[in-house]
Amino acid sequence: MLKEYDSVVIGGGISGLTSALLLAQRGKKTAILEAGATISPIMNGFSRKGVHFETGFHYASSLGEGDFGHYIFNKLGLDLEPFPLLQDGYDEIHILPTGRVFKMAYGKQNLANNLHEAFPEEKKAITAYLDRVENTLSKSFFLNMHKKQDSLYSAAIDSPPSLQEVLDEYFKSPELKAILSVSAFLHGTPPSKISFGQHCRISGSLYKSAWGIKGGGLAINKAYKNSLERNGADIFVNAKAVKIEYKDGKKHIFTDKGGLFVCNTCISTVHPKIFLNIAPKNVYREGYKARINELEETPGFFTLYAILKDGKYFKKSNMFVVSDTNINGIFSPDMKTRSYYINFSNSKPQALSIISLVPPSEQMWDKKAPEYNIKKEKYAEILKKDIASLFPEIADSIEEYLEVSTPATTRRFAGYYSGYGLMHDVNKTKILPITKIPGLYISGRSIIAPGLLGAIITALLVDKIISKST
Ligand SMILES: Cc1cc2nc3c(=O)[nH]c(=O)nc-3n(C[C@H](O)[C@H](O)[C@H](O)COP(=O)(O)OP(=O)(O)OC[C@H]3O[C@@H](n4cnc5c(N)ncnc54)[C@H](O)[C@@H]3O)c2cc1C
């Protein structure tokens, strides 16, 4: 089965779907190859006993009118309804060693007031830090590309300082530093490794506003599917790309089911280490390949899902529970500290997800390994006990614990164990979207940034490079 297209996008996650939409909107005959059974399986969530559980989307910044997300949803023809989260406490941060509970507020003055009240001795530094976040964000192309036309790579190039360096420069309180870096859960890179610029773009943008999307991940997938169909793109699910060859100026993409797709432009949005396995051998220099293979992964996720008793408990805030005031410590590979994110859905009855970070060790989370189920049960018991002792009001509201997912589950749905792909380490090799093969590009969450908006922005940048070169 040979099919010819102008463009083929490998991987039907948000990055791939956005790339395909942009190409199709420019009139290119475009196909998407997705290994999973649906587009963006990570966003799809799942249902048990009539309750829907979110997996790859809970909240985002910049979705208000006039914001980047609002603009881009319109440009992509995505029919989505964002709704604002609780302004005075969209995130509730529990610092276990000190017992402090801090409510993150959005709106710069609101947040400043809350922080000043909690840390009066650091008032001047808090004001200066928030000014610096605002200034960095306003200069960044990342969330302003609908307003400014700066250098193409300004969003991609991360430069020092790291978030940790900035926090150490401004603040004394370890608790305050922990509060301001707990959003590392949202991108999977510790404060000592994430650049301050990336922190501002991904987490600092939440200081302006925080949003959910009506219908969550399922609604996002549906909106993409509808717009792709309207724009004439072809979606192939259960189509895993296993090899890319470069012949006579064309890219030949072979799938596991014997399919062959031939195109001029090919964008791979799969994990860069998977890409190296399927790409033509001369895609990069050997030294560069070795450096990509050495790049560190973000942690994986272990998630415990439960149904809450109807009408008993509805919390509008996300909860972050950290067991070390040094947030770098919660990323340690030995898993000595337990830290997690708790999300309450908007549905009725409510779904509860307790998402804990774990290092993506392939051995430990190999579904076929004999210790897999034992490890999974043990981990679930630890989390259940934690919830019972730390948050008895939540424990009392649980109707039943249902499912457990591990990094092996993420692997099944996204092809790789790590929750957010490669770490965006300010001091490590950057993967640029172009390759040595003309018309073969690499995109996705590991290239510029993870998250719904990070993936969309990555696709937009790659699209700008492609449209300039064709
Ligand atoms: C538990 C969790 C919670 C999250 N919560 C949020 C949130 O609240 N807000 C937010 O903004 N973001 C959140 N994210 C992040 C966000 O979901 C992702 O960063 C984003 O969806 C990544 O999109 P992507 O297209 O870059 O990658 P992916 O979604 O990983 O897309 C890559 C696709 O390629 C497919 N694939 C792999 N190999 C092949 C192959 N050989 N051939 C064909 N297809 C292949 C995979 O199946 C996958 O669908 C969360 C992520 C997780 C895991």
Q: List the beta bridge partners of residue 321.
A: 94, 340
C-beta of 452 in contact with ligand 1 (< 6 A): yes
Question: How far does Cα 288 stand from its chain's mean position?
Answer: 25
- Report CA torsion sign: 450, 414, 275, 462: negative
Tell which atom from ligand 1 comes closest to the C-alpha of 241.
42
Q: Give the domain ranges of the chain.
A: 2-63+71-77+214-295+431-469, 106-211, 297-414
Indicate which residue's Cα is closest to atom 27 of ligand 1.
13
pTM metric for this prediction: 0.96
Q: How many CA atoms lie within 13 A of 375 on its CB side?
A: 17
Given this model, what pLDDT does residue 336 score?
Answer: 60
Per-residue pLDDT tens listing for the chain (470 residues): 799 999 999 999 999 999 999 999 999 999 999 999 999 999 999 999 989 999 999 999 999 998 999 999 999 999 999 999 999 999 999 999 999 999 999 999 999 999 999 999 999 999 999 999 999 988 877 777 666 555 555 555 678 999 999 999 999 999 999 999 999 999 999 999 999 999 999 999 999 999 999 999 999 999 999 999 999 999 999 999 999 999 999 999 999 999 999 999 999 999 999 999 999 999 999 999 999 999 999 999 999 999 999 777 677 789 999 988 999 988 776 656 678 999 998 777 889 999 998 876 666 778 888 888 998 998 899 999 999 999 999 999 999 999 899 999 998 888 888 999 999 999 998 898 999 999 999 999 999 999 999 999 999 989 989 988 76
- Give 256 Cα–ligand 1 centroid separation in angstroms: 21
C-beta of 355 in contact with ligand 1 (< 6 A): yes
Tell which atom from ligand 1 comes closest to the C-alpha of 458.
26
Tell me if 21 sits within 8 A of 233, measured CB to CB. yes
Given this model, what pLDDT does residue 187 score?
Answer: 94
Given this model, what pLDDT does residue 334 score?
Answer: 61
> Which amino acid, 196?
F
Preceding amide of 161 cis, omega within 30: yes
CATH architecture of 106-211: Orthogonal Bundle (1.10)
Q: What is the CA radius of gyration of the chain?
A: 22
Across the chain, which distance is largest between two alpha carbons, in Å? 69
Pairing of strands 30-33, 234-236: parallel
pLDDT in tens, 274-285: 999 999 999 999
Tell which atom from ligand 1 comes closest to the C-alpha of 242.
41
3-state SS, residue 204? helix
- Give 344 Cα–ligand 1 centroid separation in angstroms: 21
Cα separation, 393 vs 391, whole angstroms: 5
Question: Domain 2-63+71-77+214-295+431-469's class?
Answer: alpha beta
Indicate which residue's Cα is closest to atom 15 of ligand 1.
451
Given this model, what pLDDT does residue 225 score?
Answer: 98
417 CB-near residues (< 8 Å, 6+ apart): 297, 300, 360, 362, 365, 407, 408, 410, 411
- Give 420 Cα–ligand 1 centroid separation in angstroms: 7
- Give 367 Cα–ligand 1 centroid separation in angstroms: 20
Q: To test ligand 1's pocket by mutation, which of 32, 57, 185, 412 has the most ligand atoms within 8 angstroms of CB? A: 57
- Give 277 Cα–ligand 1 centroid separation in angstroms: 19
Indicate which residue's Cα is closest to atom 17 of ligand 1.
56
Tell me the CA distances in angstroms from 63 to 44, 66, 124, 390, 452, one per residue in order. 20, 8, 30, 33, 11
- Give 272 Cα–ligand 1 centroid separation in angstroms: 13
Q: What is the DSSP string of 50-115?
A: TEEE--S-S-BS--STTSHHHHHHHHTT----EEEPPSEEEEEEEETTTTEEEEEE-SHHHHHHHH
Beta strands in 298-367 (DSSP E): 300-308, 318-322, 340-344, 351-358
C-beta of 56 in contact with ligand 1 (< 6 A): yes
Extract the tokens encoding 253: 């993409």
Tell which atom from ligand 1 comes closest to the C-alpha of 415.
37
